[in-house]
Amino acid sequence: MTYRAPLPDIEASMRFAMASAISAASIDSGPSDSDRAFEDLGEGMAASILEQAAKYAEGVLDPINRNGDLTPAVLTDGNVTTSPGWVDAYKLWIEGGWSSLSAPADHGGMGLAHVLNAACLEMWSSANMAFMLCPILSDGAILALSRHASKELQETYLPKIISGVWPATMNLTEPQAGSDLNALRSKAERADDGTYKISGQKIFITYGEHDMSTNIVHLVLARLPDAPPGTRGISLFLVPKFIPDEDGNPGTLNDVRCSGLEHKMGIHGSPTCTMIYGDKGGATGWLIGEENRGLACMFTMMNNARLAVGLQGVAAAERATQQALAFAQERKQGRPPAWQGQTGEMAPIAAHADVQRMLMTMTAMTAAARAICYLTAAATDLSHRATDEMARQQAHERAGLLTPVAKAFSTDIGNEVTSLGVQVHGGMGFIEETGAAQHMRDVRIAAIYEGTNGIQAIDLVMRKLLLFDGRAMNREMADMRAIAEAVTHSNNPAFGSTAKRLVETLDSLEKSSIYLASQIAAAPTNALSGASSFLRLFGLARGGTGLANIALDVLTSSDATSAARPIAIARFFAEHICSSARGLEVSICESAESVQLAKVVFAQT
């Protein structure tokens, strides 16, 4: 099954995200120039880039995707050889200038909107998730260096990373420190020449070593000898594989090596490395930002990566949906009621009601996750692009609120949709030959890395819900209620009970928000017990209203025939998927005590 980029769906979601970002910016600040924030994507620019990105996805990345799964990267004498076709595909990546799409123009980037880059990342990750993990990390490093590094470091490394010639990595995790960076032990010693000597071990380092480039730029968290304990004592360092010479070319091999590759459930083509720093006295590193302030720098990179991981969830879901639909239209078995009495061959399984339910679920959930991710990207854009200070601040608050939802909800959807994809295939889905299982295996990690989805839920409830005095949440609720009201006023029978179900979902979200806000300080364990359910409820509300808005936009700008598909998707999501909102509300507001019975069930917990 080959991948085909769903450009009409992607472009519709982009239009919704940009329009929503602009509209939200004027709620408190009034009319501003925010409507010009995305003008560089006009006059066919966005459509042209998306078309070329789709060709790269379909023609370059998709054909080697299976190679990565069947022939993983291998480590020999400290050197990693990537899967067949990887090196050539990366050369074409560099030649296409794809690394520079949203990178800052003053260091060689195009400086285009992140929402455009998000759309491209979705397509590329659908075509080959394992390959795209390398460029995604470079995107985050570009942000971290452009905002926190010294001018000298920026001049030396940013042009190389932006061009794609020197890809970057992120080195956080250690054997004893997974999500808890308080336990980080890697050391940094000050050297007389202003550099630092880095020593320690890092695990789960994506593309920590490979053969696709002449150099690799590692961003490494480590502690100085006099650093305060906990996360307040972490610094961030740039540690290149090869130290650049006077001409800026790879020079001396640094004191860093790959000691092993993980054997993983999925994304086999992505080398996941154990990295050793300091075998020979310490790897040479340069400080990024200030000493003991590295976590703030790294969060710049991680927040970008979290949206990218959310897009991986969308990407895997889209790929699985395409394959399941094609299979269901070809596979013939049985006859549904409408076919009874007919003679001849059996019906395609896509004609059966339960298979239609699964296919509709896959399609609607994928579209909802896409809407949330693009909305987050557009808000991030406006937080930098708007000239009005209040508009920028509101967009910043919105992006902060939506980021954990984009990451966790979308990757949960990725797992659920790829599982349904296997189910649609029946027994053949369990056979590796069809490829359906690969989508499920590949995306399983997305709910785990870059902050587990449980951590995202905690961030949403314990930090983002009341951040900025709850302004961001209040504005988001107002925006979603306005969409539900617009569906009601459309008086279009094709929407069915969409408006009613959206209002019910928003009511449950509002009640849950009020309850959790009352518990955060008074009974934090109660708030934490309902955090994951709340994130899911938020995703249903934001995704459902997003799909309804997209449908209304198509209906307004086109005709009833063109709007039939997006209206059907929005209606199914509201009537079948949002129907769980009331149950989630009960879990959040009335069931915290039963979660805490874990200490009874598991006596040692």
pLDDT of amino acid 47: 95
Consecutive H or E run containing 80: strand 79-81
Mean pLDDT, the chain, integer = 94
Q: Which two tokens stand for residue 228?
A: 């305060």
Residue 332 binned pLDDT confidence (cut-offs 50, 70, 90): very high
**Cα(304)–Cα(480) distance, rounded to whole angstroms?**
25
- Pick the closest to residue 141 from 275, 240, 262, 226 (CA basis): 240
In the predicted model, is pLDDT for residue 29 greater than 60? no
Is the pLDDT assigned to residue 205 strictly greater than 60? Answer: yes
- Residue 152: what pLDDT? 95
The identity of residue 342, as a single letter, is Q
The per-residue pLDDT for 287 is 97
What pLDDT does residue 25 have? 67
At 33 the pLDDT is 58
Q: How far is the C-alpha of 24 from the C-alpha of 395, rounded, in Å?
A: 8
Output the pTM of the full model. Answer: 0.95
Q: Give dist(CA 87, CA 207) in Å, integer.
A: 13
Mean pLDDT calculated for residue range 207-230: 95
The H or E element containing residue 188 is strand 187-190
Distance CA 309, CA 120 (A): 13
Name the residue among 130, 1, 133 with its Cα closest to residue 68.
Answer: 130
pLDDT tier, 31 (very low <50, low <70, confident <90, very high otherwise): very low
Minimum mean pLDDT range among 362-371, 410-419, 555-564: 555-564
Which amino acid belongs to residue 34?
S
Alpha-carbon separation of residue 350 from 65, 356, 367, 478, 549 (angstroms): 27, 6, 20, 39, 28
Residue type, 254: N
Structure tokens at 35: 């409507």
Q: According to the model, what pLDDT value does residue 26 have?
A: 59
- Give the model confidence (pLDDT) of 65-81 as tens digits: 999 999 999 999 999 99
> Between 299 and 17, where is the model more confident?
17
How confident is the model at residue 302, as a pLDDT?
A: 78
pLDDT at position 528, please?
Answer: 97
Q: What is the mean pLDDT of residues 112-128?
A: 97
Measure the CA–CA gap between 345 and 330, rounded to whole angstroms: 12
**Mean pLDDT over residues 541-569, rounded?**
93
Residues 285-328: tens digit of each pLDDT: 999 999 999 988 877 777 788 999 999 999 999 999 999 999 99
Catalytic residue numbers read: 450
Percent of the residues in the chain that have a pLDDT greater than 70, as a whole number = 98
The answer, yes or no, to whether residue 160 has pLDDT greater than 90, is yes
The pair of three-digit structure tokens given for residue 339, joined into one six-digit string? 């076919």
Give the tens place of pLDDT for each residue, 354-371: 999 999 999 999 999 999
Looking at per-residue confidence, does 558 or 506 come out higher? 506
In this prediction, residue 295 carries a pLDDT of 83
Please, which pLDDT band fits residue 184 given cuts at 50, 70 and 90? confident
Q: Is the pLDDT of residue 30 over 70?
A: no
Per-residue model confidence as pLDDT tens digits over 371-411: 999 999 999 999 999 888 999 999 999 999 999 999 999 99
Burial class (CB in 10 A: 0-12, 13-18, 19+), 593: exposed
Assign 178 to helix, strand or coil: coil
Q: What does the pLDDT read at residue 39?
A: 87
Mean pLDDT for the stretch of residues 518-531: 96
Is residue 40 within 8 Å of residue 113, measured between CB atoms? Answer: yes
